[in-house]
Chains A and B, each alone.
Chain A
Amino acid sequence: EPEVTQTPSHQVTQMGQEVILRCVPISNHLYFYWYRQILGQKVEFLVSFYNNEISEKSEIFDDQFSVERPDGSNFTLKIRSTKLEDSAMYFCASKPGTSGAGEQFFGPGTRLTVL
């Protein structure tokens, strides 16, 4: 069964460093998302991406964040200068293009630890 994959599973970085989190969505899906979950808190939407551009972003997704789909398979989230409060699990998700209400398929997550 196809699944969303994410690498790395755990990333440790120093404050101020740049990190790139990578995701391979399910092929033939058209909508891509990043969410994050701070330990013990709810899953929060960051950004949605469709047709090679951002379709919506949250207040969390400020100028330090960017997303890219550099080829037909990868979907990346870059944090330019990490802060302590960026420590969280980051989930990538994808959705087929059939319906607005369709289920989203989540990856296993990348645990980002900023020291």
Chain B
Amino acid sequence: SQKIEQNSEALNIQEGKTATLTCNYTNYSPAYLQWYRQDPGRGPVFLLLIRENEKEKRKERLKVTFDTTLKQSLFHITASQPADSATYLCALGPPGTASKLTFGTGTRLQVTL
């Protein structure tokens, strides 16, 4: 069965450092991968999308890589700030337009001063 694992339940880092979150998947051939941010009691908010034929995408302090051979995506937040503290979800999508998302369990990031 399909499995999506995110590296750890929680990640604590110091302000100003780079946070690196991992998403690994098995038994899946996604057409694309997305990263979302979720704050407690709120809905997921889209951050970045990367397609299967892309290696890297950047947006401001965010960077995502996608390795379909390793079946892994890395999500980086550079110069992290306390406001970046949240749960980060990776989500995989199949080919096709309706495209349901299959989510990982998430990594809770805590950025401290």
Residues of chain A at the chain B interface (Cβ within 8 Å): 4, 31, 33, 35, 41-45, 48, 50, 55-56, 58, 89, 91, 93, 95, 97, 99-109, 111
Contact = CB atoms under 8 A, between A and B. Distances in A.
Contact of A106 (B31, B43, B100): B43
A102 B51 CA distance: 10
Contacts of A91: 43-44
A93 B106 CA distance: 18
A45 B106 contact: no
B43 A100 contact: no
A101 B101 contact: no
Interface residues of B, number: 28
Given A42-B106, A43-B44, A108-B42, A100 B100 contact: no
Interface stretch (B17-25, B63-71, B90-98): B90-98
Contact of B45 (A56, A97, A101, A106): A106
A89 B93 CA distance: 21
Interface of B: 31-32, 34, 36, 38, 41-46, 49, 51, 89, 91, 93, 95-106
A97 B97 contact: yes
Contacts of B105: 41-42
Contacts of B97: 31, 50, 97, 99-100
A43 B100 CA distance: 12
Given A102-B49, A109-B42, A111-B41, 8 more contacts: A50-B97, A50-B98, A56-B98, A56-B100, A97-B97, A100-B98, A101-B51, A109-B41
Contact of B43 (A56, A97, A103, A107): A107
19 contacts: A42-B103, A42-B105, A43-B101, A45-B100, A48-B98, A56-B98, A100-B31, A100-B93, A100-B96, A100-B98, A101-B49, A103-B49, A104-B46, A105-B46, A106-B43, A106-B45, A108-B43, A109-B43, A111-B41
